A and B are shown apart, each in its own frame.
Chain A
């Protein structure tokens, strides 16, 4: 299969990586190439123009000492190290970047109510999309049909939340957009496993996905839908699913 994890040499040569040199502000991101949670952080860092060192964790091979030291509680990526201190959980990392770099472009609006709305929808994406999507490709029969129905409901709800705005953030790409954009690379897989068409189910989300893909921060952080689909195939093999 074409889709294996990348070696460090591949990453160094990969135009998607900002380069192995550490950022002047001492930011290091422990990540896994296809992780939508890690991609949120890559997108946010790019939107904010913050340089950082990308450090790939080969999760298919197990968890490194470095990762276990940085995130002993959850043992997961992404982890953002700032001058050596770890920040864990992707949405917490995004909020940390807002707080720690107040002069960089903000993803959250300034109005408290608008911020609450943004946090609500980012939380919704977090609670719903990945888990439901995983059930779509992991399960068969009735449980899969249930996952499919849930996925359609989730996408329709998000479609309604987006409405006629260009981004969830309004005119500007914002917090919810950064939180959800990585999943645009997974839509193709959800469509195939769920047997539905996104433009039919959630046309505004489909248009939004295209718009996101045109942004450099998103384009440089995401892998193609085909690569994601192949990766899922790999995961299924690993878990002995078929």
Chain B
């Protein structure tokens, strides 16, 4: 079938949800046009592509928009099933487990992180930190269960859960400065610490993730709403 295959990604440089999509596209070896969005002054393209949520990321494939990072990741895996590595496992039960942990990350990690970052009161902040660390501890267990001794949640190669958590990495690395606590440490989360080293060394991560220093500065000045 002749004809170009056009991928366009609407995003913002700081967004971890956008980073997820960039990671997936890089891992699959797919080229795309990236269009930085101004969320304080939303473009017509963004508003027509995502009228329901008006958010980034939006992946536009040959003119057709796909919204919500998790939906986009599954779409990339299915639309490009024969291109590059698979992002999700092939076994149905393993797919369910992968989806479960991605959903867990989205449901449970972000909110306490935000509280830890933005809370004015000391008590509220402490509670946010406590909840965030509990979630991180659960993810340590998830990594052990999913990796079975291999380098990634996806096993030998980067998978769906790696990408979902990896998208958040710059924020996680900035957590000590932004929230006043390290999310990972050698005593409690040795597997995750090693995973962070491995993941940040990937070419895809170097391209897809924002610079941590720049992100921390930006977050501090904007009291970032992610």
Asked whether any CB of chain B lies closer than 8 Å to the CB of A100, the reply is yes
In the bound complex, what is the Cα–Cα distance between A119 and B99 (angstroms)?
13
Give the chain A neighbours of B66 by CB distance below 8 A.
Answer: 113, 116, 120
**Given A113-B61, A116-B66, A123-B71, A89 and B103 touching (CB < 8 A)?**
yes
Asked whether any CB of chain B lies closer than 8 Å to the CB of A157, the reply is yes
Q: Check if A95 sits within 8 Å of B95, measured CB to CB.
A: yes
List residues of B (50-69) whose CB comes within 8 Å of A's CBs: 52, 61, 64, 66-68
In the bound complex, what is the Cα–Cα distance between A112 and B72 (angstroms)?
10
Q: Check if A119 sits within 8 Å of B79, measured CB to CB.
A: no
A interface footprint on B3-14 (CB within 8 Å = 1, 0 otherwise): 000000000000
Asked whether any CB of chain B lies closer than 8 Å to the CB of A115, the reply is yes
List residues of A (8-38) whose CB comes within 8 Å of B's CBs: none
Asked whether any CB of chain A lies closer than 8 Å to the CB of B100, the reply is yes
Q: Check if B64 sits within 8 Å of A123, measured CB to CB.
A: no
In the bound complex, what is the Cα–Cα distance between A94 and B96 (angstroms)?
10
List residues of B (130-153) whose CB comes within 8 Å of A's CBs: 138
In the bound complex, what is the Cα–Cα distance between A114 and B103 (angstroms)?
21
Number of interface residues of A (CB under 8 A): 21
Q: Check if A85 sits within 8 Å of B93, measured CB to CB.
A: yes
Q: Check if B71 sits within 8 Å of A96, measured CB to CB.
A: no
In the bound complex, what is the Cα–Cα distance between A113 and B103 (angstroms)?
21
In the bound complex, what is the Cα–Cα distance between A89 and B107 (angstroms)?
12
**Given A95-B99, A112-B78, A87 and B71 touching (CB < 8 A)?**
no
In the bound complex, what is the Cα–Cα distance between A73 and B67 (angstroms)?
28
B interface footprint on A65-99 (CB within 8 Å = 1, 0 otherwise): 00000000100000000100101110011011001
Asked whether any CB of chain B lies closer than 8 Å to the CB of A223, the reply is no
Asked whether any CB of chain B lies closer than 8 Å to the CB of A124, the reply is yes
Q: Check if B68 sits within 8 Å of A92, measured CB to CB.
A: no
What distance in Å separates the Cβ of A180 from its nearest Cβ neighbour in chain B?
Answer: 15
B interface footprint on A27-56 (CB within 8 Å = 1, 0 otherwise): 000000000000000000000000000000
- What bracket does the count of chain B residues touching chain A fall in? 20 to 34
**Given A88-B100, A89-B100, A157-B52, A116 and B74 touching (CB < 8 A)?**
yes
A interface footprint on B85-127 (CB within 8 Å = 1, 0 otherwise): 0000000110110011001100000000000000000000000
In the bound complex, what is the Cα–Cα distance between A116 and B78 (angstroms)?
9
Asked whether any CB of chain A lies closer than 8 Å to the CB of B70, the reply is yes
B interface footprint on A100-131 (CB within 8 Å = 1, 0 otherwise): 10000000000011011001100110000000
Give the chain B neighbours of A113 by CB distance below 8 A.
Answer: 61, 64, 66, 75, 79
Give the chain A neighbours of B61 by CB distance below 8 A.
Answer: 113
What distance in Å separates the Cβ of B3 from its nearest Cβ neighbour in chain A?
Answer: 16
Q: Check if A123 sits within 8 Å of B79, measured CB to CB.
A: no
Q: Check if A87 sits within 8 Å of B93, measured CB to CB.
A: yes
A82, A96, A124: which has the most chain B beta carbons within 10 Å?
A96
Give the chain A neighbours of B70 by CB distance below 8 A.
Answer: 119, 123
**Closest residue on chain B to residue A80 by CB atoms:** B96
**Which residue from B64, B67, B71, B100 sits with its C-beta under 8 Å from A92?**
B100
25 CB < 8 A contacts A-B: A85-B93, A87-B100, A89-B99, A89-B100, A92-B100, A93-B96, A96-B92, A96-B93, A96-B95, A96-B96, A99-B95, A99-B96, A113-B61, A113-B75, A115-B74, A115-B75, A115-B78, A116-B66, A116-B74, A119-B68, A119-B74, A120-B67, A123-B68, A123-B71, A157-B52
Chain A interface (Cβ < 8 Å from any Cβ of B): 73, 82, 85, 87-89, 92-93, 95-96, 99-100, 112-113, 115-116, 119-120, 123-124, 157
Chain B interface (Cβ < 8 Å from any Cβ of A): 52, 61, 64, 66-68, 70-72, 74-75, 78-79, 92-93, 95-96, 99-100, 103-104, 138
